[in-house]
Amino acid sequence: MNLRATAFAVLRRVVLVAFIAVAFAPSVRGQETTHKAFSLPKSPVAAAYVLGRLSNKELSEVPRSEFVYVALLQRKGLERKYRVEAIEGLAKIRITDPLAELLGGIAALDKKGEATEGDEPSEVARKRETSESVLRDLLPVLFQSKPESLTAKRDALEKLAVASKLAMTRQMAFAAIFTADGSPDLAWKAAETNPQQLADLLLAIPLIRDATVRASFHPKVAPLLTKADPASVRRAAITAIAAIPGHDAETFSTLAALVKSGTERETVIAGLQTIPRKSWPAEQAESLIESLMTHLQAVPVDKRTEMDAVNAFQFANDLTALLLPEKARAAGKTLRALGVSVFVLRTISEQMLYDKKLIVVEAGKPVSIILINDDAMPHNLVVTTPGAVEEIGPMAELMPPEADARGRLYVPASPKVLHATKLVEPGQQARLSFTAPKEPGDYQYVCTFPGHWRLMLGKLVVVADVEAYLATNTTAQPKIIEWKTEDIIPQIAKLDSARNLAGGKDSFTKLACASCHKLGAEGVNYGPDLTDIFANYQNNPVEVLRQIIEPSLVVSNRYRGFDFELQDGDELSGMIVKEEGEVLTLQIGPAATLIKAVKKSDIKTQKPQKSSIMPQGVLNSLSAEEILDLLAYMKSGGNSPAHEHKH
C-alpha cells in the first residue's frame, strides 16, 4: 500500500471512530441514558461500512431506517426477532410484502457468500460460513409462510433454487417449493436431468417440515441409492432416504449393504445413525461390525479423531448392543484398541433423552464428546462433579436467558461445573474436548435447559483401567426398551402382589416425573396431579399405564401445549394457565422462572400442539418389574411404607 492510500485509510478510520463516538455518546439525565441523533451516509456502501463496524448490541439499538433494517437482516448472531422486524420494516418502506423481502434478503446473503477474485481460501470460507449461519436462522422464518403464499412466489423460489451460488440457498428454495406444491412431482420433473439440481433437490428433503410431504419422495429416491450417477447424486439420495419416514427397516438394510460394499461409506454411516434404533435389525449387527472393523483398521492412527472415523467407531460401538453379551464384550474390546476417546452423543427426538446413559474414560486422558442434536428443541451438555446434578439442575432453572461470557445459556457459575457446551440448536452439533479428571469417580453429564435436567443426564465414569471396569460391569450401560402397553399387560396381575414401593418412588424421581407432577408430598404442580390417578381411571392399571406410554392419547385442554408466534418474530411454546382480559399467562416450563405474561395483541399466531408436552419413552430405561413398582407407588398415592416388600 502506498503512502497516499495509507493516509486515506488512517483518515477514514479516524472519521469513522469520531462518527461512532458522536452517534453513541451518552448524555446523563438523572439515572437515564439516551443517545444523540444518529444519522448515516446516504450512500448504501458507506452506510453499510459504518453499520458494519458496530457490535450486535449497538446495531440493535440504532434508530431504524432502510439501511439499518438491511444490516439487521444480514448480520450474523442476532436474535430471530430482529430478522422478522427487519423483514417487516423493509416491506413497509419499500411497499412490498414480508415474504418478498425475505426472499430478497436470502438472495443478498447468497451473493455476499460468493467468492470474489483475489480472495484467500480463509476469506472464502469466512464469507460462506457467515452467510450460511444467517440463512439457517432464516430457514424457520421462511417455513412460517403458508403454502399458498409460497406458491405465489414460486418464480422467485425457482430462481433461487437453480441460480444461487450457495448450496444452502438452493436447498432452502427447493424445500420451500415442495412445501408449496405438497408433492415432489413438478419440481422433480424439472430437475431430474440436471445432476447438480437433482443433488440440491435431494438434500432439501430433510429440510421439509411436513412428514407427509417427505414420505411422498420414497418411490423416487430409493432407486437412486444404487443406480445414481454421478456420485454426488447418490450421496444426496443416501442423506435424503434416511429422512423419509415409514421405511426405517428397509432403509437400514439397504444402507447396511452399501457399508459392507464400501460404497459412500461415510455418508451411509451418517444416514444410518439417524434411523431410530428400534428399527436396527439385530441379525445384521455382527456382519456390519466386522465390516466396520476392517475399514477402521485401514484408517491411519492420526486420522482416527476425524469426524468420519469417529462416526464409524461410534456406530460400530452402538451396534454391539444388539449382540449377545460375550460377543459384545469381544467386539467392544477390539474397537477400543483401535479407537480413541471420542464419543458421539445424540439426543433422542421428542423423548428428552441422550442416546447414552454411560461414558467410560481413563483418568487424566484427553476426551472429546460430540453432541449431535436430533431433537426439535435446543439442548446442551454440561459435565459436573460426582453427585452435583441435584444442585446444578435447580440452579440452572432459576437463571434468566442471558448468555455468560462464553456465550453459554443456563450454565451456572459453580466450581462443580467442569465443562459445558453452548446450547446446540436442532440439527446442529458441538464438540466438547477436555482432559478427564485425574480422580476416578462417577462424574455426570446433563442438559441444563430448564426442565430437562432430571431426565436428560448420564454418568461419565472415570477409571484407571477402562477394560477392567467394563469386564466387571457388564450391565453398566442401561438397556433401552421401546415399551408398548401390550408388552406389560401379561404381567399386570403381579401389581397386586407385594411390590417394591421404595424402588417405585426412586423411579418416579429418576425419570423426572417429580419435576412436572405432584404425587402425594413429592413433585410440583406443572402437569396433572397424579395422587388420585388410579381413581380417575376407575382403578384400571392398564389405562394408567397406557397414559404413561402413550402420553398423546388423551390431553386435557388445561394441559394442552400451544405454539405462539409473536409480532416481533419470537416464538414461544407452553400451556395457558390463566387468561385475564388482554393478557395470557403462559407456563413455558416447570420452573418458576418459566411463567410468562403475554399481551394478546403481541401474539401473531396461536396453534395447539398435536402431541402432549410429556415426552414419549419415559419408561424405556426401566425393566418390566421396575415399571410395575412405579405403578404400585402411583397406586399408593405416593405412600411408601417402611415394611413394604422388596423383591
Judge whether 198 lies within some domain.
no
Same domain, 459 and 526: no
> What's the pLDDT at 283?
93
d(CA 377, CA 424): 9
Same domain, 367 and 414: yes
Q: 11-38 as b/e, with b when 16 or more CB fall inside 10 Å? A: eeeeeeeebeeebeeeeeeeeeeeeeeb
d(CA 532, CA 635): 8
d(CA 212, CA 398): 39
CA dist list (Å): 482 to 355, 564, 584: 13, 32, 38
Judge whether 376 lies within some domain.
yes
Same domain, 468 and 400: yes
d(CA 499, CA 541): 14
d(CA 85, CA 346): 34
Domain carrying residue 10: 3-42
Burial class for 462, CB neighbours closer than 10 Å (0-12, 13-18, 19+)? buried
Q: Please, which residues bridge with residue 603 across strands?
A: 566
For 129-172, how does the pLDDT look when each residue is reduced to its tens digit (9 = 90+)? Answer: 889 989 988 988 898 888 999 999 999 999 999 999 999 999 99
What is the chain's length? Answer: 647
Dihedral-angle region of residue 118 (phi above 0 means left; psi in -120 to 50 means alpha; beta otherwise): left
Same domain, 448 and 499: no
CA dist list (Å): 537 to 381, 478, 546, 548: 39, 31, 11, 13
Q: What are phi and psi of 164, to 5 degrees?
A: -70, 155
Same domain, 438 and 384: yes
> What's the pLDDT at 97?
95
Last residue of a domain, one of 439, 472, 505: 472
Judge whether 103 lies within some domain.
no
Q: What are phi and psi of 574, to 5 degrees?
A: 175, 180
Judge whether 186 lies within some domain.
no
**Kind plus residue range of the DSSP H or E element containing 33:** strand 32-35
Using the 8-state DSSP alphabet, how is residue 424 labeled?
A: B
Same domain, 490 and 548: yes
> What's the pLDDT at 479?
64
Last residue of a domain, one of 472, 502, 522: 472
Short-list 282, 223, 275, 270, CA closest to 251: 275
**Kind plus residue range of the DSSP H or E element containing 503:** helix 501-510
Do 520 and 531 contact (CB within 8 A), yes or no?
A: yes
> What's the pLDDT at 512?
67
Last residue of a domain, one of 472, 500, 533: 472
Same domain, 455 and 565: no
DSSP string, 240-307: HHTTSTT-HHHHHHHHHHHHHHTTTHHHHHHHHTTS-GGGS-GGGHHHHHHHHHHHHHTS-GGGTTSH
Judge whether 582 lies within some domain.
yes
Number of domains making up the chain: 4
d(CA 241, CA 274): 10
Judge whether 389 lies within some domain.
yes
d(CA 156, CA 257): 41
> What's the pLDDT at 22?
39
**Cell numbers at 268, concatenated:** 451411509
Do 461 and 361 contact (CB within 8 A), yes or no?
A: yes
Same domain, 378 and 459: yes
Same domain, 627 and 501: yes
**Residue 565's CATH number:** 2.30.30.100
**Kind plus residue range of the DSSP H or E element containing 394:** helix 389-397
Amino acid symbol at 60: S
Instruction: Determine the longest span between alpha carbons in the chain, in angstroms.
Output: 93
Judge whether 508 lies within some domain.
yes
Helix and strand numbers, DSSP H then E, in the chain: 28, 18
> Residue 462 contacts by C-beta under 8 Å, 6 or more apart in sequence?
361, 362, 363, 436, 437, 439, 440, 441, 443
> What's the pLDDT at 363?
92
Same domain, 493 and 543: yes
Q: At what angle do helices 98-112 and 167-181 cross, to 10 degrees?
A: 150
> Strand pairing of 561-566 and 603-608?
antiparallel
CA angle 185, 189, 192 (to 5 degrees): 125
> What's the pLDDT at 632?
87
Burial class for 414, CB neighbours closer than 10 Å (0-12, 13-18, 19+)? middle
**Cell numbers at 355, concatenated:** 442416546
Short-list 44, 101, 108, 52, CA closest to 75: 52
d(CA 632, CA 610): 30
Q: What are phi and psi of 378, to 5 degrees?
A: -70, 150
> What's the pLDDT at 33?
35
> What's the pLDDT at 480?
67
**Cell numbers at 329, concatenated:** 464384550
Same domain, 496 and 575: no
> What's the pLDDT at 32?
37
Per-10-residue mean pLDDT, the chain, length 647: 39 39 39 52 88 88 92 88 92 95 95 84 87 89 90 95 95 95 92 93 92 93 86 94 92 94 92 87 94 92 84 90 87 82 83 86 89 86 94 88 85 95 86 92 93 87 88 65 82 83 82 77 79 85 85 78 81 82 82 78 84 75 84 82 47
**Residue 364's CATH number:** 2.60.40.420
Judge whether 333 lies within some domain.
no
**Cell numbers at 444, concatenated:** 455426570
Same domain, 567 and 551: no
For 550-590, how does the pLDDT look when each residue is reduced to its tens digit (9 = 90+)? Answer: 887 777 777 888 888 888 777 777 888 888 888 888 887 76
